[in-house]
Structure 1
Amino acid sequence: MLALRLTLESFRFAWEALKSNLLRTILSLLGVTVGIFAIIAVFAVVDSLEANVRQSMSFVGDKVIYVGKWPWAFGGDYPWWKYFNRPVPSVREFRALQRNLGPNNKGVAIFAAVGGSTLKNGSNSVADCALQGVSFDFRQVSDVPITEGRYFTAQEIEASRNVAIIGATVAESLFPYGSALGQEFKARGRKFVVIGVMQKEGKKILDTPSNDTNCLIPFGMFTKMFALNTGGMTGVTPTIAIKGRDEDPGLLDLEYELKGVMRNIRGLKPREEDNFALNRPEMMADAITKLFSIIGVAGAVIGSFAMLVGGFGIANIMFVSVKERTNVIGIQKSLGAKNYFILFQFLFEAIFLCLIGGAVGILLVFVITLIPQDAMPLALSAGNITLGLTVSVVIGVLAGIIPAVLASNLDPVIAIRSK
């Protein structure tokens, strides 16, 4: 109880000292405010930028392996013409993968897209849309956030029916005065019935495919409208994607199985090299993580210089405060105040200053996050708030410890005579 009472007394003395020199207190905490604002603002921008980039790349899915003709990353001395001569994925291979892959996958999908399409509903039309033919398991490998209606049924996909799931921008343009569900529109002379509307995504920081101007239709219907590439220079090239399981870390089991099945489907002999590429979004995710880690460290170093200046300002004010209150310290010690009581008194004062400055800096960052941003909305995470307050406490301890120790070690007789 004694220790708690003395601690509370130290807090009270520190608070009274800060209130008695209000202007000096405000000027002192400005340096910490600027420093914390700089550091937390940098981390908030980096976190928001990374989140937006990852959201922009969400169309590639998570824990997915893509079977394609070209690798996403070229390496080694592999001749380019061997990539060029590889066969493209086909519907036959998609069916074979569905039949032959074991329990290491959650779904196999095939899809293809054509951009620049115009959709019409009477006098309303929307241009430059992406028509995308998908199989039933497409929602397993890619994000299809439906806010109205539903996804395709297996029967609709197999029967290649004239149904569609459209993006929010398409729905607003074609059906501005009511719900799009159950309404009809035309694409390349064919009528489609809307069974679902996807969630609005808005602007993306990267120029990546957006669901807002996308139109999903059954893959069979897509093949009736567009010719698929069968290995030549013309036609739409489909993509095959396989969704892995959470129980398969790194998707190693799925990759080994998929490689063996694909080699068997294409009739490759044991000594023949693969004529297909297995691409994984993790390659891009790892690159993004490394990039933003570097940006975050660089931003923290830059912000720490401002924090350093604020720390020196707090330390300077604390030395002045000790000098001004030397006589009071002598009186307190003569009345029985312990050294740690005097030490806590000045240490808490420094921590108070830094915490108030840090809180103001965090508040300024929060105010900035409230400003509407279409391309990259900023967000202040609980982790960044905790980091800002923790850094404030650390700076307060480092800036106040030396003045506090000097104050606690003053001789009471000399201190009383200081005036």
Structure 2
Amino acid sequence: MKALRLTLESFRFAWQALKANLLRTILSLLGVTVGIFAIIAVFTVVDSLEKNIRDSMNFVGDKVIYVQKWPWAFGGDYPWWKYFNRPVPTVREFREMQRTLNPASHNGIAIFAATGGNTLKAGSNSLSDCAIQGVSYEYRRVSEVPVAEGRYFTEQEMKSARNVAIIGATIAQNLFPGRSALGQEFKAKGQRYTVIGVMEREGKKLLDTPSNDTNCYLPFTSFAKIFQLSTNGMGGATPTIAIKGRDDDPGLLNLEAEIQGTVRVIRGLKPREDDNFALNRPELLANAITQLFSIIGIAGAVIGSFAMLVGGFGIANIMFVSVKERTNIIGIQKSLGAKNYFILFQFLFEAVFLCLLGGASGILLVYLITLIPQDGLALFMSGARISLGLVVSVVIGVLAGIIPAILAANLDPVIAIRAK
């Protein structure tokens, strides 16, 4: 109870001192506000940039292993020219993997292929530069297909190569303006397709990566009727086999080993022969992004800390002036029985309170900026960054106020009372 009363009394003295010198308080707040604003703004931009890039890369999926001809990262002693001689994954290999892989080791296996720059037509309406992607039935287990209206493909539609399609929101809006796209027909490569589903709108992405808004999904068997599948990865639509891992397989190490062994058996590779395929994983991209933004974040924090340092020196200077002005009052308080720790806390709380006000103002400014609509980069401020700003404010307040507070607490009451 005594500690609580002491704390409240110290805050009351601090608040009275800040109100008594309002202009000086505001000028001191500006230094801390600018410092916290600089630090939190840098971290907010870095966090937002990282999130937008990760969202732009979400088409590669999570916990997925891709069987492809080309690796996403080159390295090691493998001769570059051998990559050209590698075969591409085929439908036969996909069927063999479906039959051979242990169902308990994965959550789904799919094959897909895509082409870009296609024009879709419906009556007098058309839309160019669309992506057409052929997918197998289990593709929705490997990668998200966010159907907002309608439904996904059935197994019968896949097996019978039905001319049905799931289209993106931009395609639906341009081909069928002012009406529902479900059940409507459009043309692609001279073939008519019936719309059975429309996907959710994704909007503009930070990176120029594939977007579902201009994407058209077809059954893989229907896709193969109008597009030539590549046999060497150099021309036509190149198939990719994707396997979704399980949560109980940390790092997907077991699944990766099983896939590697299965593909080697299917392709008849001898024990001493190198793999003639690549097992690509989104973690490579995720790790690269994490490392990049860790460096950017550290660099931004160092730059922002200089602004915070200036604010801290400003607070320390104000506290020294405050101790000088209130020396006589300190002497009177000590002569009336005030303990050294009461005087110490009184000035320390004043410095911390001042920094918290400045820090909260800086955080508020950053938050207001995040509310401004942004087309290219959507800004957001996380609760962790708000907490960081407040913690930094408290730390700066303690560091800036501890020496003046100690000096005030150690004043001799007789000498302090005589001070002018």
Structure 1 contact 354–395 (Cα < 8 Å) conserved: yes
* Alpha-carbon offset, residue 155 of structure 1: 2.0
Name the amino acid aligned to 1:155.
Answer: Q
Structure 2 contact 71–280 (Cα < 8 Å) conserved: yes
* Alpha-carbon offset, residue 77 of structure 1: 2.9
Alignment match, 2:77: 77
Name the amino acid aligned to 2:324.
Answer: K
Alignment match, 2:51: 51
Correspondences of 1:257-276 after superposition (within 5 Å): 257-276=258-277
* Alpha-carbon offset, residue 175 of structure 1: 1.4
Unaligned residue ranges in structure 2 (runs of 5+): none
Query: Any idea what SS the aligned residue of 1:237 has?
Result: coil
CA distance in 1: counterparts of 2:281 and 2:52, whole angstroms: 20
CA distance in 2: counterparts of 1:168 and 1:232, whole angstroms: 30
Alignment match, 2:149: 148
Correspondences of 1:203-242 after superposition (within 5 Å): 203-231=204-232, 233-242=234-243
Alignment match, 2:122: 121
Q: Percent identity?
A: 78
TM-score w.r.t. the length of structure 1 is 0.98
Structure 2 contact 69–233 (Cα < 8 Å) conserved: no
Alignment match, 2:96: 96
Q: Deviations along 1:258-303, whole A, 9 cap, x unmatched? A: 0110011001111222111111111111010000000000000000
CA distance in 2: counterparts of 1:8 and 1:333, whole angstroms: 18
CA distance in 2: counterparts of 1:23 and 1:313, whole angstroms: 14
CA distance in 2: counterparts of 1:206 and 1:343, whole angstroms: 54
* Alpha-carbon offset, residue 232 of structure 1: 7.2
Alignment match, 2:37: 37
Name the amino acid aligned to 1:81.
Answer: W
Alignment match, 1:175: 176
Structure 1 contact 109–240 (Cα < 8 Å) conserved: yes
Structure 1 contact 43–300 (Cα < 8 Å) conserved: yes
Alignment match, 1:284: 285
Alignment match, 2:409: 408
CA distance in 2: counterparts of 1:398 and 1:245, whole angstroms: 49
Structure 1 contact 60–141 (Cα < 8 Å) conserved: no
Correspondences of 1:335-346 after superposition (within 5 Å): 335-346=336-347
Q: Deviations along 1:104-154, whole A, 9 cap, x unmatched? A: 111111101111111111111111100100011112222322222222222
State which drifts further: 290-299 or 329-338.
Answer: 329-338
Query: Any idea what SS the aligned residue of 2:243 has?
Result: strand
Name the amino acid aligned to 1:83.
Answer: Y
Structure 2 contact 134–217 (Cα < 8 Å) conserved: yes
Name the amino acid aligned to 1:239.
Answer: T
Query: Any idea what SS the aligned residue of 2:107 has?
Result: strand
Unaligned residue ranges in structure 1 (runs of 5+): none
Structure 2 contact 145–199 (Cα < 8 Å) conserved: yes
CA distance in 2: counterparts of 1:84 and 1:333, whole angstroms: 86
TM-score w.r.t. the length of structure 2 is 0.98
Query: Any idea what SS the aligned residue of 2:114 has?
Result: strand
**Structure-2 change in CA distance of 1:45 and 1:144 (3 Å):** same
Aligned residues: 419
CA distance in 1: counterparts of 2:4 and 2:394, whole angstroms: 20
The two structures, once aligned, show a CA RMSD in angstroms of 1.1
- The answer to whether 1:388 aligns with 2:389 is yes
Query: Any idea what SS the aligned residue of 1:152 has?
Result: coil
Alignment match, 1:319: 320
Structure 1 contact 114–131 (Cα < 8 Å) conserved: yes
Name the amino acid aligned to 2:188.
Answer: A
